[in-house]
Chains A and B, each alone.
Chain A
């Protein structure tokens, strides 16, 4: 077996064991994600449905490996969005940090999520845009306040 095949098999095994699954992303695209990261930083968006008792159900993950990504988030119910940043190096090992916010998309509204990780400083900014194109910043909402 070639080294490449072994590597591919290991990667598949690792993906299968990570507990992550791909978010179906088959709804109307109302969340537009713009990502800027340093080279070597792997960003991902994890979506969790939130029910009335503030418990979460993991819906899936999308890699933020392109500058722009359109996502369909169900309108009318809260979703907990978590952005994770993973870095790894030979000397420092693997490190992961994440930040989350609650979003309840309104029908007919669009949302922009700006994700940034530069020189070990990260930021996410969420904006809501109404049908007339008027936008407003949405403060980060922790899951505890759902």
Chain B
């Protein structure tokens, strides 16, 4: 058996051993996970502006599917990754949830939640009228582009879309 075939499967088995079923479970899970990371920073923008940016950019940039294909003499990988963003806004908080589901020749043990496994959760809570605290829960590997994009949306410094083929 080829290691190139085994390695992604083993990584997935490890990553998917637990499936947080909602955003709150994901928030609890990430700080304890080996490959989880919580980033916190302050944005010099009011909560309502950040909420508007999340509402505009998430559907525009994150309703995407990415097909990964690798063919060689020893492996044949063909995986379709579909991302699903959700934005929840209240007077006290704005939340961005990003889920992703995998289809193709990949084994996902256990039961992922509806819409796919949680991949990133970003919470925006007001510090005062013009400053907002941002908490981003995400994997420490493989989500850098998405985290940078969400950071740009929160600060307003870069409202571009992440190239999800790089996430």
Contact = CB atoms under 8 A, between A and B. Distances in A.
A97 B165 contact: yes
Contacts of B108: none
Contacts of B145: 120-121
Contacts of B164: 97
B70 A121 contact: no
Interface residues on B, range: 10 to 19
Contacts, number: 36
A120 B163 CA distance: 5
Interface string B5-20: 0000000000000000
A123 B159 contact: yes
A95 interface: yes
B25 interface: no
Contacts of B162: 120-121
Interface residues on A, range: 10 to 19
A68 interface: no
A95 B163 CA distance: 10
A116 B165 contact: no
A118 B70 CA distance: 26
Interface of A: 85, 93, 95-97, 99, 116-123, 140
Lowest 5 A-B CB distances belong to which pairs? A123-B160, A95-B165, A121-B160, A120-B166, A120-B145
19 contacts: A85-B163, A96-B165, A97-B163, A97-B165, A99-B161, A119-B148, A120-B163, A120-B166, A121-B149, A121-B152, A121-B160, A121-B161, A121-B162, A121-B163, A122-B160, A122-B161, A122-B163, A123-B160, A123-B161
